[in-house]
Structures are given as structure tokens and as C-alpha cells.
């Protein structure tokens, strides 16, 4: 959902003859007039405080590394001191999220994912991203977007000034919820460019090399390409930095700013940064479950099961989804403890609670026992946007308040061929024995010094990404390898 760019000066000019004239304010970051009638500075602080806990919950909480948190906060606070709002109480958080992401809430709440920290190559790149987020706050972009949306709702679209704003709030009571919504939706093109300019302003005032921002965008390109290749799609369908569309305009502007804004003796601070991230968790937090070969293991909940060979597995926030090249999909998730506790009868659960829209009759539900655990299954024919499929539902009770669920979706052509493989997955589900997952070591960023005779290929071959080892090594070390890999150079690798 993208908010249409709104010409602020035109709005303010129009409102001179209306009661909303007081809504036009001077932007503290740019000095230009902005329309912020429906969200003042106190509202921004209130919204940030109310939405902050929700953000932490949605993105896995903060990453458990006090030294890294202090490091990011120190960079952020130094940049805030150079900003137009040095007295606003900014707070900076490293999220326990493996995606490459950063965003800010109004009121000074700034979030950087550990996935983004891992992708960056020096302190200047990290500072560029942090400065960009500070810029969104100091320029009051959320206040502008909310106020423009509200103005649209009260009828200014009748004169064609504001254009169409999808999903605009319907009343002032929605102001708080808009805070989180706005943080996770794309800003307009001009707001992104403005935040980049402000980020560069804060960087250069601290002596950082502003070309670092463009370098980070290049890493985003490389990262996007990896995920696109893994999914068998073109890179333009992926947006790895989810809340910030990275466009060619932003890259070009970053290069121009780097030429005109670079301070004397500009610094990148690569070594302090690499020392800080040595040991940083890479990829999914193992507490959310992890793959070991074809086996999915969840040490926190205490279970495991096997996927058929060749499936691509995506471990999401609420479910694990796996697909193969024949159109088969396996979706695994967990029913809420409250519902699970109130559903002792698995037959009734499948027919009435889980899949009532499939109109499965109780007599069509088959009872099973899987490694000593009660289970039930049923099938249904369904039509999807890819044609007719067979859907099989499987519910397994592991405890009074724990119901685990599988959905197996196959094309009519592949149903018989996949029957044995999917039955093996079904009967592979089992509870972990004490200590069974203790030997697993999750992948982490490690800092390696290049030895004589080592090459990009030989170092990359030691990483755990199989066919994508070379791609990952280049994405993580674009700066270090740009002029060729030198003996004694420090590079990032991923190792268990």
C-alpha cells in the first residue's frame, strides 16, 4: 500500500482561507511548510509509546546482545545530537529479526534488524541507515501522511488536491493504530529521497563517508538477487528491505550526495564494526525452529519431523511452508492453546473448527496414532488459482493445550506420486528426547583474516549455503572484494 505524494505547499495555500490554516507548520528538518494539522508533536510521542510494544512483539523482540544494542544506540544518539530535534528522546533497538529491515515510529523509536546489521560492512553503512530513519522522524513524515489522509477523508479530494490515499483512517480515534501502519508501509518517493538526504547530512556532520549509503544499497541488490534466485523469480519481484523500496533514483542521489557532501578525512570505521558483529546470529533464531538436513526441529516446543527431499522450506513467524517443483505445498502450524484446550475431540475439531468451509463430515475424518500421539486426518478436493488440488488436513495432539497441524496440498496429477513421501512426513512427527537438539550450533557471522593462497571461492565453499555460497560471500563482502581479495584482509563468513 503506497501513499500518494502530496504537494504540501499547495495544501497550505488552499487552507489559508479555511479553519485548518493552523495545520500548516514549518518542517524542522527542511524549513519548508508541511501540512500536519491532524498530528502534533505530542501525538507523535504518544503514538510511538503506544505502538512500540506491538512492534517488538511483531518482530521477535530485541536481539539479546547488550554490547551490540549499546553500539547501535551510541551511533544513533550521536546522530540525533546533529539533527534538528536534538532534545527529542530517541530510542534505538536491534530486533531479533533475520530479514533486512529498518523503520521508525513517530516520537523517536528507531528499529534496525539484526539481518540488516549482518549485511552492512562497516559503521558508516550502518550509520547511513540509522540516519535515514532519524530523518523520517525529524521531517515528521508520519504526521504529514496521517494529516493528508485525514484531509482526504473530510472532503478535500472533491477539489482534486490530495489524490487517492488507500486505507486512510476513518476518524481521529484511529490515530494511534496509524502509527504502526505508517511505519510499515512505503513512504512516498520524495519522502524516501528526503530521508536519504537528511541521513547523509547527519553522517557527514559526524565525519562518516556518505558513499557508504550507496554501498549499502548495492548490498541490498545482491541480497535481493539471492532470494529471487532461490525462489526462481526475477529480482524485481522482491523487496528485501520491506519498508523501504530501494529505487534507482535513490542510488543515483546517494552517489551525487557522496560527491558533494564528503567531509575531509571521511571515515568508514570498518574494523570496529567487524569486531562488534563477530558472532552475530545469522538467519532464523533456532528458538523458532531450524532445519537440519531434511528435518525440521523445534527445540523450544520440543518436536521434529521430516520433509521429503528437495522441498524448499520457509520458516515464517506463524507457520512453516515448504514447496517442491511439482506444485506440492506442505503448511505446518499450531492451533492456539486456548482453542486446543477446548477441543478434546479431534474429529469435531477438523470438521467443525478447523475446516468447516470444506464441509467435511465427521464420518470422513480418520483417526490415527503417530508415535504414540493421537491424531486425525481428512481430505477434500479444492479449486485454487492454479487449478484443482487435493487438500489433506492432519491434526496431532501433543498435549492438552497443544495441537499441531499439517496441510498437504497436491495437484491432482501429483497426488498419487506424492502419497508415500507425504505419509513418511506424517509418521515422522515425534516429540524430542531430552538433549536431542543440544548439539545444534546455529550459523553466525564470523570474521576471518584471508590467508595466502585463499580465494573468494575457497573461502565461500566453507559456508553452509550449498549452491549459494559464492552469492552470499559476495553480498556480505562487496567492499572488501571490490578491488580483489587481498591477503590479510578481514572478511565476513557464515559458519556454525
Residues 298, 222 within the same domain: no
Query: Of 216, 249, 277, which residue sits at a domain end?
Result: 277
Place of cell 530479514: 99
Residues 237, 354 within the same domain: no
Residues 261, 337 within the same domain: no
Residues 155, 273 within the same domain: yes
Q: Flag whether 466 is in a domain.
A: yes
Q: Flag whether 1 is in a domain.
A: no
Q: What nine digits make up the cell of 419?
A: 502419497
Strand 444-449 to 109-113 pairing: unpaired
- Cα–Cα dist 252/88, whole Å: 31
Give the domain extent around 480. Answer: 444-495
Q: Tell me the CA distances in angstroms from 76 to 126, 373, 472, one per residue in order.
A: 10, 51, 28
* pLDDT at residue 49 in the model: 92
Residues 150, 182 within the same domain: yes
Query: Of 277, 306, 330, which residue sits at a domain end?
Result: 277
* pLDDT at residue 261 in the model: 75
Residues 374, 454 within the same domain: no
Q: Flag whether 2 is in a domain.
A: no
- Cα–Cα dist 229/475, whole Å: 14
Give the global pTM.
Answer: 0.79
* pLDDT at residue 168 in the model: 33
Query: Of 431, 458, 476, which residue sits at a domain end?
Result: 431
- Looking up residue 487, the CATH number of its domain turns out to be 3.10.350.10
Output the CA angle 202-207-213, nearest 5 degrees.
Answer: 60
- Looking up residue 379, the CATH number of its domain turns out to be 3.40.1000.10
* pLDDT at residue 157 in the model: 39
* pLDDT at residue 456 in the model: 97
pLDDT in tens, 406-429: 999 999 889 999 999 999 999 999
Residues 294, 365 within the same domain: yes
Residues 222, 315 within the same domain: no
Q: Flag whether 439 is in a domain.
A: no
Q: Flag whether 409 is in a domain.
A: yes
Residues 425, 451 within the same domain: no
* pLDDT at residue 469 in the model: 96
* pLDDT at residue 268 in the model: 97
* pLDDT at residue 108 in the model: 94
Tallying the residues shown for the chain, one arrives at 496
Say if residues 114 and 94 touch (Cβ distance below 8 Å).
yes
Residues 187, 237 within the same domain: yes
Q: Tally the domains of the chain.
A: 3
pLDDT in tens, 301-359: 999 999 999 998 999 888 999 999 888 999 999 999 999 999 889 999 999 999 888 88
What kind and span of H or E run contains 397? strand 387-399
* pLDDT at residue 150 in the model: 61
Residues 199, 229 within the same domain: yes
Q: Collect the ranges in the chain with pLDDT lower than 50.
A: 1-11, 13-21, 155-173, 240-243, 245
Residues 305, 405 within the same domain: yes
Q: Flag whether 482 is in a domain.
A: yes
Amino acid at each position: 500500500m503506497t501513499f500518494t505524494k502530496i504537494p504540501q505547499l499547495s495544501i497550505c495555500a488552499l487552507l489559508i482561507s479555511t479553519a485548518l490554516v493552523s495545520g500548516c507548520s514549518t518542517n524542522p528538518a527542511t524549513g519548508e511548510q508541511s501540512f500536519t494539522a491532524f498530528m502534533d508533536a505530542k501525538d507523535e510521542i504518544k503514538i510511538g509509546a503506544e505502538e512500540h510494544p506491538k512492534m517488538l512483539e511483531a518482530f521477535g523482540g530485541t536481539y539479546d546482545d547488550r554490547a551490540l544494542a549499546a553500539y547501535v544506540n551510541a551511533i544513533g544518539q550521536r546522530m540525533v545530537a546533529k539533527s534538528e530535534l536534538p532534545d527529542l528522546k530517541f530510542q534505538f533497538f536491534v530486533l531479533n529479526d533475520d530479514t533486512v529491515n529498518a523503520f521508525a515510529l513517530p516520537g523517536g523509536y528507531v528499529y534496525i534488524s539484526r539481518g540488516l546489521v549482518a549485511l552492512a560492512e562497516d559503521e558508516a553503512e550502518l550509520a547511513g541507515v540509522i540516519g535515514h530513519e532519524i530523518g523520517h522522524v525529524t521531517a515528521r513524515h508520519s504526521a504529514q501522511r496521517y494529516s493528508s489522509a485525514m484531509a482526504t477523508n473530510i472532503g478535500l479530494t472533491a477539489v482534486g488536491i490530495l489524490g487517492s490515499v488507500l486505507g486512510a483512517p476513518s476518524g481521529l480515534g484511529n490515530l494511534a493504530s496509524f502509527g504502526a501502519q505508517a511505519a510499515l508501509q512505503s513512504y512516498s518517493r520524495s519522502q524516501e529521497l528526503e530521508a536519504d538526504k537528511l541521513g547523509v547530512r547527519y553522517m557527514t556532520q559526524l565525519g562518516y563517508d556518505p558513499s557508504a549509503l550507496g554501498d549499502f544499497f548495492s548490498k541490498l541488490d545482491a541480497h535481493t538477487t539471492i532470494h529471487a534466485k532461490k525462489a526462481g523469480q526475477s529480482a524485481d519481484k522482491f523487496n528485501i528491505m520491506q519498508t523501504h523500496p530501494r529505487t534507482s533514483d535513490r542510488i543515483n542521489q546517494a552517489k551525487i550526495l557522496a560527491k558533494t557532501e564528503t567531509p575531509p578525512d571521511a571515515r568508514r570505521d570498518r574494523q570496529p564494526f567487524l569486531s562488534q558483529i563477530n558472532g552475530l546470529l545469522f538467519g532464523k533464531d533456532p528458538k523458532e525452529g531450524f532445519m537440519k538436513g531434511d528435518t525440521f526441529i523445534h527445540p523450544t516446543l520440543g518436536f521434529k519431523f521430516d520433509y521429503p527431499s528437495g522441498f524448499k522450506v520457509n520458516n515464517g513467524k506463524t507457520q512453516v511452508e515448504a514447496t517442491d517443483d511439482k506444485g506440492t505445498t506442505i503448511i505446518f502450524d499450531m492451533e492456539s492453546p486456548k482453542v486446543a484446550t477446548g477441543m478434546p475431540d479431534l474429529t469435531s475439531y477438523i470438521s467443525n473448527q478447523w475446516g468447516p468451509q470444506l464441509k467435511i463430515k465427521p464420518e470422513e475424518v480418520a483417526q490415527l496414532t503417530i508415535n504414540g500421539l493421537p491424531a486425525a486426518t481428512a481430505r477434500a478436493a479444492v479449486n485454487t488459482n492454479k487449478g484443482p488440488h487435493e487438500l489433506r488436513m492432519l491434526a496431532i495432539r501433543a498435549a492438552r493445550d497443544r495441537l499441531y497441524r499439517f496441510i498437504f496440498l497436491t495437484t491432482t496429477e501429483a497426488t498419487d506420486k506424492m502419497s508415500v513421501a507425504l505419509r513418511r512426513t506424517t509418521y515422522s512427527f515425534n516429540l524430542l528426547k531430552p538433549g536431542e537438539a543440544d548439539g545444534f550450533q546455529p550459523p553466525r557471522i564470523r570474521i576471518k583474516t584471508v590467508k595466502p593462497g585463499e580465494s573468494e571461492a575457497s573461502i565461500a565453499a566453507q559456508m553452509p549455503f550449498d549452491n549459494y555460497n559464492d552469492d552470499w560471500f559476495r553480498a556480505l563482502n562487496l567492499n572488501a572484494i571490490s578491488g580483489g581479495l587481498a591477503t590479510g584482509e578481514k572478511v565476513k563468513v557464515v559458519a556454525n
